[in-house]
Amino acid sequence: MNNCIEVKDLVKEYKELRAIDHLSFEVKEGEIFGLLGPNGSGKSTTMNCLLSLLKYQEGQIKIFGQEMKPSAYELKRRIGVVFQDVAVFEELTVYENIDYFCGLYIKDKETRKQYVQDALDLVALNDYVKFVPKKLSGGLLRRLNIACGIAHKPDLIFLDEPTVAVDPQSRNNILDGILTLNKQGAAIVYTTHYMEEVEIICDRIMILDKGKIIAQGTKEELKNLVTMDEKVTVELDKDLPQEILAQIQSWEMVHNLSMRDKILEVQFKQGNYHLSKLVIFLKEKHIPYHKIYSELPTLNDVFLELTGKELRD
């Protein structure tokens, strides 16, 4: 596949702070590319540089093989942007909002009418076309925001936290819509604080921290980076005493463990029979538990090991 985004040695500084530190990466046409990182990692700065909303000191950005500049208007017609902060006109109805934003790029009335209808279908807002934004719930407002950003059928879409603070039904609707846009050929750059969404929709992922890439690849490639091979979780009546935790930590195959709010998590390295050994140990120590289960590493485990933080931190 060809690259729709090419970034080489990007540097962005704010006085004494280097927000982006010689960043280089590519996004392929037709893929969903997850851009992740803890707060302050440089995600928003990177996106704003890609969109020519910020000047940068060094490096090169190409979109569809062309250098991205503030004046690259024809190139920007091929791009859709949905920022985290909702940006619609309060005095316009749902239909009028989508029609307005679509009309910035699509001048033919019949074509625009069809595009607006397609956007309404995508985000399931047909029952709300005459509503003004203040009459919409938070989830419906997010869906309107997305429809306004993608109605002109762009080839490349930037989605910044599109599901933040929405109800489960709206989240599922938004994720389904993103997958539909991708199937229709759009490449998507996606940022989120919900790792489960990344697991569901992203083809490749890049993790930033302090303006640098600390890992990138497919979900499977990233999971292979962690030391942990298996995580066993135990739900207990009470937190275990330190001497018991120290005994478990001393096992050769234990990579790490944590005890919080009566939940014990033990990360194991490669090997066999981890779960059964822990069960036997708890029985020998006469420690009752409600539930015990084993999981393979998740992307959240990868993120935590690489950055030392939870994605939502």
pLDDT in tens, 51-109: 999 999 999 999 999 999 999 999 999 999 999 899 999 999 999 999 999 999 999 99
Domains of the chain, start order: 3-223 (3.40.50.300), 230-296 (3.30.70.2470)
CA gap 60, 132 in Å, rounded? 41
Q: What is the layout of strands, in order, in the sheet containing 289-295?
A: 254-260, 263-268, 230-236, 289-295
pTM exceeds cut of 0.85:
yes
Please give the distance of CA 82 from its chain centroid, rounded to a whole number. 13
Q: In the structure, what pLDDT confidence band is assigned to residue 15 with cuts at 50, 70 and 90?
A: confident
For 201, residues 6+ apart whose C-beta sits below 8 A from its C-beta are 32, 175, 178, 179, 182, 190
Q: How far, in Å, CA of 50 to CA of 61, rounded?
A: 7
Give the pLDDT confidence of 191-203 residue by residue, as tens digits: 988 888 999 999 9
Q: Is there a contact between 223 and 299 (Cβ–Cβ < 8 Å)? A: yes
pLDDT bracket for residue 305 (50, 70, 90):
confident
Tokens of 307: 């950055």
